[in-house]
Amino acid sequence: MESLKIEKKYNIWIWILSIAIPVVVAILFSVNLHDLGYDVKPLSFLPPIYATINGITAVLLVAAVSAIKKGNAKLHERLIKVCIACSIAFLGMYVAYHMTSVETKFGGEGALRYIYFFILITHILLSIIIIPFVLVTFVRGISGSYERHKKLARITYPMWLYVAVTGVIVYLMISPYYVH
């Protein structure tokens, strides 16, 4: 089967990216350019931009599923490619912000604090787990393995949508505590 050959060709890259992205992000997240002696301006304007990108990703994911349900595979594929691009843009801005800015502590109290950390922790964990799911699902789609794509997409879609939506929620909950 030709589609399985194509998938196997990409598998090594999927696993390399699925491991490398979280590791590199964790390393870069712990690096602050000010602590290393660099005089860089904090990129404090980025959080609302990358939160908006998360929101756009969520809307486009819903639109992509709607497109495929209506039989418009080409639009579905284009929207998913834009979602992947949005996720990459988010990640770049997120890392850049944290490398140039002071860590923001959540100031909420009581039950709100527990809700915030539950959402944050599940968001972070699923943002790591989602990487291979998105990549494998995407490769199955572009390789023509549509039944296998559809089966995995039923798992990938709600996880990716959760990550996108909770990214916005986390931003909205912590934004009052940002130092400008």
Per-residue pLDDT of the chain (180 residues; tens, 9 = 90+): 677 888 888 999 999 999 999 999 999 888 888 778 788 888 889 999 999 999 999 999 999 999 999 999 999 999 999 999 999 999 999 999 989 988 889 999 999 999 999 999 999 999 999 999 999 999 999 999 999 999 999 999 999 999 999 999 999 999 998 765
Per the CB < 8 A criterion, the answer to whether 163 and 171 are in contact is no
In single-letter form, the type of residue at position 8 comes to K
How far from each other are the two terminal CA atoms of the chain, in whole angstroms?
A: 56
| pTM for this predicted structure | 0.90
